[in-house]
Amino acid sequence: MPAWIYEKTIRLQLLSFIGKVPDRKLVARLKLAIFLLCLIPLLRLFWLAFHDDLTANPVEFVERSTGYWSLFMLLSTLSLSPIRLMTGRSWQLQYRRMLGLFMFFYACLHVMAYLWLDYAFDWSDIFKDIVKHPYVLVGASAFMLTLPLAITSNNAMIRLLRERWKQLHKLVYVIAILAVVHFLWLVKKDLREPMLYAAILVLLLAIRIYYRAARRKA
């Protein structure tokens, strides 16, 4: 095995244990790797669609899958800060924006699947569905709230808004709660899966609250 591979591997392993800061090159490579990984769910949908393998109810499958991956990205985004709080490591925060934008990306696909594949842009039916069914309303609200966050996700906006940017992006917590409620209310009777994500969200929020309280005391 060439020495440099060995060296890199060791370095990666050490990283996860002692929180050594990776150099910029490694950060960039990891970023590319995460980017490509985040595209897999989309490629998988195309693959399954191409092979006519999207189950008997393909529209539902696409809606469920994109919704799930949006929630997955959201929870991933929210897990980076707790890692910092617990380990003191902060370099992983460099991936937060990308993961957040992937959440938005899959949420857009989710909404498109709903508007186009499910309702064929029948706006009167869509309006009725949103108003009459609480889980749809909650989901639609969550999506609307992601729009300002996506629009202000670039550096220029961060510089322009400063403190207000921080305030604005706290909306992500509201979005996360709405997204989990959306899932909980959609499920007919077997709540195990949405409860799992609710539990993960509660954990991620609890870690923040715990450290905030500890800091206040100190």
Partner 1 sequence: MIIQTKSDILSSEITPKEVFDDRRRFLQQAGFGLLAGATGLLASPSFATSGNLPAQYKAGKPLLKLPDFTKSKYGTGEKLTSFEDITTYNNYYEFGTSKNEPTVHSKLFKPVPWTVSIEGQVKKNKTISIEDILKLAPLEERIYRMRCVEGWSMVIPWVGFPLAQLIKWAEPNSNAKYVEFVSLADTQQMPGVNLPILDWPYTEGLRMDEAMNPLTIMAVGLYGEALPNQNGAPMRLVVPWKYGFKGAKAIVKIRFTDKMPMTTWMKAGPAEYGFYANVNPQVDHPRWTQSSEKRIGAGLFAGRIKTQMFNGYTEQVGQMYAGMDLRKNY
Where does this chain bind partner 1 (CB under 8 A)?
41, 44, 48-49, 51-62, 64-65, 68-69, 72, 75, 117-120, 122, 125, 128-129, 132-135, 185-186, 188-190, 192-193, 196-197, 200
CB under 8 A, 24+ apart: contacts of 211-216: 211/85
Give the nearest distance from C-beta 131 to partner 1 in angstroms. Answer: 11
Residue (61 or 165) nearer to partner 1, CB? 61
Q: Confirm if 71 and 179 have CB atoms less than 8 A apart.
A: yes
Q: Which is nearer to partner 1, 62 or 107 (CB)?
A: 62
- What element of type H or E holds 102? helix 96-112
- For residue 44, what are its two tokens? 């998988």
What minimum distance in Å lies between the beta carbon of 190 and partner 1?
A: 4
Residue 9 Cβ vs partner 1, minimum distance, rounded to whole Å: 22
> Please, which residue, 51 or 159, has the CB nearer to partner 1?
51
Q: Count CA atoms within 13 Å of residue 181 on its CB side.
A: 17
Shortest Cβ 189–partner 1 spacing (Å) = 5
Rounded-to-integer distance, Cα 76 and Cα 89, Å: 16
Q: How far is the CB of 201 from partner 1 (least distance, A)?
A: 11
Q: Exposure string (b/e) for 142-177, b if CB count within 10 Å is 16 or more?
A: bbeebeebeebbeeeeeeeeeeeeeeebeebeebbb
Q: Are 168 and 148 in contact (CB under 8 A)?
A: yes
Question: What is the residue type of 195?
Answer: M
Q: How many CB atoms lie within 10 A of CB 184?
A: 16
Q: Which is nearer to partner 1, 168 or 184 (CB)?
A: 184
Q: For residues 71 and 175, which CB has a smaller minimum distance to partner 1 in the complex? A: 71
